[in-house]
Amino acid sequence: MRWSELERELRELQEPPMPPQAEIDAAISAAGEIFQSGSRLSEQLPPAGWTEFWLDLAPTVGAALLLLALWFGFAPSHDGEKVFRKGVMARSKKLVRELSVLFPGRLEAVVAHQNDFNLAISDQAAPQGRQPVLLEISRRGERSRIVTFSGETVELPMAGELLPLEVLLSGTGEILILGPDFLWSNLTPSKPRGFHISAAIMEEYPTG
């Protein structure tokens, strides 16, 4: 068969109809959200010089804040909306909502680390009714923001090592983070191995 003849035959392969415009828009919007979150996260990270400066001051500032907290009888907030700025929570909810449309029940985690974004998608759909949790973990200028679900383990590249973190949610709304050698709880927040951790349940989210 001549090449031109063969080419003509191959060109008979008709293109499939494009997916519905709503699906295309949803896919592009989810990508746009990831694209935008990348710039926001990098903008929010303080420059390295300032990080070192604040790290030096951290013990003094921490002690002062602790005294103030004790003075005013301040207890750590368990209200997820107060842990994160409203915009961060709203954007994260929107991102998860859009990704859940694309990967229904299969979204395991969204991890934003510095300028890098990763999605963990499972092969099979998880049972309905999972509650997403928003986490922010930082140490020495490295910051990661994660949205995941109770029972999932996320591997974070922090300080040159892969940090496996298992996120658990108790029936009473306590968020537990199980690290390689520590257990963190939002009811008794601590700084295990120097990691500053914030966590909140994304309550308004209609479950993934």
Partner 1 sequence: MSDISAELLSDLEILAEACRGDRRQFEVLMQRYFHLIYSLAYRLRGDRQEAREVTRETILRVARSIRSFSSTARFRTWLYRLTLKVDFDYTFNQRRSGRKPSARTYEDECPLNRRVLLALDSLTKPERETIIFAVYEGLTAAQIAEIFGCAESTISWRMYTARRKVSSALSKLGAAPDGGPR
**Which residues of the chain form contacts with partner 1 (CB under 8 A)?**
1, 3, 5-16, 18-19, 23-24, 27-32, 34-36, 38-39, 102, 115-119, 123
Among residues 29 and 185, whose Cβ is nearest to partner 1?
29
Shortest spacing between CB 15 and partner 1, in angstroms: 5
User: Angle at the Cα of 138 (from 136 to 140), degrees rounded to 5?
Assistant: 170
What is the DSSP annotation of the chain?
Answer: --HHHHHHHHTT-PPPPPPPHHHHHHHHHHHHHHHHHHHHHHHHSPPHHHHHHHHHHHHHHHHHHHHHHHHHT------HHHHS-HHHHHHHHHHHHHHHHHSTTTEEEEEEETTEEEEEE-SSPPPS-PPEEEEEEEETTEEEEEEEETT-EEEEEETTEEEEEEEEE-TTS-EEEE-SS-EEESSS---GGG-EEEEEE-TTS---
Shortest spacing between CB 45 and partner 1, in angstroms: 15
Among residues 107 and 169, whose Cβ is nearest to partner 1?
107
Shortest spacing between CB 17 and partner 1, in angstroms: 8
Shortest spacing between CB 164 and partner 1, in angstroms: 20
Among residues 39 and 170, whose Cβ is nearest to partner 1?
39
Q: End-to-end CA distance of the chain: give it in Å, rounded.
A: 54
Among residues 3 and 71, whose Cβ is nearest to partner 1?
3
Among residues 79 and 123, whose Cβ is nearest to partner 1?
123
Shortest spacing between CB 194 and partner 1, in angstroms: 28
Shortest spacing between CB 10 and partner 1, in angstroms: 5
Among residues 4 and 60, whose Cβ is nearest to partner 1?
4
Q: CA 174, CA 199: separation in Å to the nearest integer?
A: 10
